[in-house]
């Protein structure tokens, strides 16, 4: 079994898509740990705010197979791939950490995920995985969050 830490986000009917994604993750992988959901400004483009959260799953799939499964999950929720990478989306689910691996795989599979230090990924992850060490860096998610310039910012919680 592998342990994966995921980042989930949406800015189009976000609550509905994120609730459905969490339900599908539970149906496929069993019990999960999910962070609170927060509202964050869009990054890289002008658009509606996103709702983001993190989840921990235990998976029988290796990282590329899990990434493929997550892409299919996004597709089932209307994710468009014919638009610019930084644009509004119904569902975005990325592997941020996978066991203690460092992976540069097919497509956009990169672990640890480049966006790990972005507040919309780091804050929810630090909420549920404070003691997890980042491979290749050595610091815990709590240490990275404490060093973030947004550490003292209060973010709006979103009920799912």
Q: Which of 56, 48, 71 is nearest to 7 (CA)?
A: 56
CA distance 45 to 106: 25
What tens digit of pLDDT does each residue of 81-133 get?
Answer: 666 677 788 899 999 999 999 999 877 899 999 899 999 999 999 999 999 99
What tens digit of pLDDT does each residue of 27-38 get?
Answer: 999 999 999 999
3-class secondary structure per residue, 31-75: CCEECCEEEECCCCCCCCCEEEEEEEEEECCCHHHHHHHHHHHHH
């Amino acid at each position: 079994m592998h342990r994966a830490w995921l980042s989930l986000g949406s800015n189009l009917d976000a609550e509905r898509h994120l609730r459905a994604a969490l339900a599908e993750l539970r149906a496929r992988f069993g019990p999960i740990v999910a962070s609170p959901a927060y509202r964050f400004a869009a990054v890289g483009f002008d658009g509606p705010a996103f709702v983001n959260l993190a989840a921990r799953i235990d998976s029988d799939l290796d990282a590329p197979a899990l990434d493929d499964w997550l892409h299919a999950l996004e597709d089932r929720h209307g994710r468009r791939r014919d638009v610019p990478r930084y644009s509004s989306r119904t569902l975005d689910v990325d592997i941020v950490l996978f066991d203690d691996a460092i992976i540069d795989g097919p497509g956009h599979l990169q672990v640890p995920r480049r966006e790990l230090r972005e507040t919309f990924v780091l804050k929810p992850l630090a909420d549920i995985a404070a003691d997890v060490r980042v491979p290749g860096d050595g610091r815990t998610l709590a240490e990275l969050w404490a060093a973030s310039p947004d550490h003292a910012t209060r973010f709006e919680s979103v009920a799912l």
